[in-house]
Amino acid sequence: MTDEREHRTWTVRDVVRWMTQRFTEAKLDSPRLDAELVCAHVLGCDRVGIYLAMDRPLSSRERDTLRALVRRRLAREPVAYLIRRREFFGLSFAVTPDVLIPRPDTETLVEAALDLGPAEGGWSLLDLGTGSGAIAVALAHARPAWRVTATDVSAKALAVARENAARNQTPMELLEGGLFVPVAGRRFDLVASNPPYVPRGSAVQPELGHEPPGALFADDDGLALLFAILDEADGHLEDGGHLLLEFGQGQDGPLKERARAAGWSEIRVLADLAGIPRVLHARR
Ligand code: SAM
Ligand code: GLN
């Protein structure tokens, strides 16, 4: 889509091919998928929709929009921020640069919670650091009888979580504040969290530079918030209540040790779909 070719007609097929080529040259991880998602967003359809529209010419306005998005993607801005949405656990989530983009890894924690709690009856869940609302909304959607409370230290993140709770028709309590401060004196059947756990100062892929640092990085080799939750969660669980914590690669050893020292029982570690230790489950 260089200037000298400005006047020829560009079909959906042409632009998907052109974008895929640019993204491949830039060594992005999934060039074709990124091209299709961005193109579908500009055309206002889903990915199947672009296959039905391959011969459709783009308007010059659509081409301009597309070019601007391609530039941003080449600057390593994640596709989810370009198209302002992301699928998680089969649901559609609004995302903005104020929230972490929900990761497939986190579905491991959601599955574990579904296994632990009652399928029909009531249960109470606290999701600490809810971000986009991914965990809280996915669980509230799958288990409408559960009472769900979600917190975040970021008011901007909570606004996105509120939008996602409304969009997915999952009523819940949303509270602003650090860790357990907004739920002082309250107890739950399950405390779940995917807190920031990337070691501060570690080298990360360029896409992460576009996500909120407060959602990613933690002190003490990334363990600071995980440890704080392990130390404090006991006071916010019903007898026999469960704790589920997502963590990063290589953090399972220190976490299990800390959990034992803090007096937790039935400590076990669950692996994600790639077989990497990803979630700590402990009981009060
Ligand atoms: N739960 C979401 C998910 O799994 O996609 C977002 C997880 S993101 C890794 C961590 C979230 O914790 C961010 O939204 C961040 O604002 C929030 N957070 C960071 N420090 C916090 C604290 N001290 N108390 C509560 N939330 C915190
Ligand atoms: N799983 C994210 C990543 O490594 C980190 C999320 C987090 O810190 N909780 O990209």
Tens-digit pLDDT profile for residues 238-248: 999 999 999 99
Q: Supply the pLDDT for residue 8.
A: 82
Q: What is the mean pLDDT of residues 21-39?
A: 97
What does the mean pLDDT of the chain come to? 96
Q: What is the mean pLDDT of residues 128-141?
A: 98
- Tell me: domain 3-75, CATH 2.40.30, correct? no
Q: Supply the pLDDT for residue 85.
A: 96
105 residue type, one letter: D
- Choose which residue among 108, 193, 197 to substitute to test ligand 2 binding: the one with the highest number of ligand atoms within 8 A of its C-beta: 197
134 lines ligand 1 (CB under 6 A): yes
**Of 94 and 273, the one with more pLDDT:** 94
| Nearest ligand to the C-alpha atom of residue 182 | 1
User: How much distance in Å is there from the Cα of 273 to the middle of ligand 2?
Assistant: 15
Q: What is the mean pLDDT of residues 202-206?
A: 92
CA angle in degrees (0–180, nearest 5) for 186-190-195: 95
**CB crowding 91-101: b at 16 or more within 10 Å, else e:** bebbbebbbbb
Taking CA atoms only, the protein residue closest to ligand 1 atom 8 is: 215
| Nearest ligand to the C-alpha atom of residue 212 | 1
Q: Supply the pLDDT for residue 7.
A: 66
- Choose which residue among 86, 87, 99, 247 to substitute to test ligand 1 binding: the one with the highest number of ligand atoms within 8 A of its C-beta: 99
214 lines ligand 1 (CB under 6 A): yes
- Name the phi and psi angles at 12, rounded to 5: -55, -45
User: What's the CATH fold of domain 97-283?
Assistant: Rossmann fold (3.40.50)
137 lines ligand 1 (CB under 6 A): no
Q: Supply the pLDDT for residue 156.
A: 98
Q: Supply the pLDDT for residue 74.
A: 98
Q: Supply the pLDDT for residue 222.
A: 98
| Nearest ligand to the C-alpha atom of residue 210 | 2
User: How much distance in Å is there from the Cα of 15 to the middle of ligand 2?
Assistant: 32
| Nearest ligand to the C-alpha atom of residue 208 | 2
* 15, 57 contact by CB (below 8 A): no
User: How much distance in Å is there from the Cα of 61 to the middle of ligand 1?
Assistant: 38
Q: What is the mean pLDDT of residues 49-62?
A: 96
CA angle in degrees (0–180, nearest 5) for 106-112-114: 110
Q: Could you please report the per-residue DSSP string of 119-187?
A: SSS--EEEEES-TTTHHHHHHHHH-TTSEEEEEES-HHHHHHHHHHHHHTT---EEEESSTTGGGTT--
Query: For the chain, which residues make up each domain, given as ranges?
Result: 3-75, 97-283
CA angle in degrees (0–180, nearest 5) for 168-172-174: 115
